[in-house]
Amino acid sequence: MLKKIIGMFKSEGPYSNLQPDLFAERIRSDSKAVVLDVRTSAEYKSGKIAKSVLIDFMRGDFISEIQKLDKNKNFYVYCRSGARSAEACRKMHSSGFKQLYNLSGGIMSYKGDII
């Protein structure tokens, strides 16, 4: 049981990977949650996690856009498969963000509500 819990919340240094069930639970219960989608606008339009904010990681203004966010919030970051969001978490950490959570497996693995 403990091994399963540890696997659901795996720290990767400056951020933590969360399994889809825990990610969904945390964004529902965390009053300081900001759900950040780092996919392209076309991907975002095809389906997104409710209340998510889009800041495209691939755009040249990603760093300047994240600098506008409140660093005291808890950021739940996702992309399509988890790779871009992991890199986004690393860049956010380098920019002074502390509470960063990556959706392991990205939106493709997510079981919560997608709108």
| Spatial contact of 23 and 103, defined as CB atoms under 8 Å apart | yes
Could you say which of 27, 49, 77, 79 is catalytic?
Answer: 79
Tokens of 92: 């956010």
- Four-point Cα dihedral 90, 94, 96, 99, nearest 10: 20
For residue 1, the 8-state DSSP code is: -
Tokens of 100: 């960063």
Residue 79 is a catalytic residue? yes
Active site residues per annotation: 79
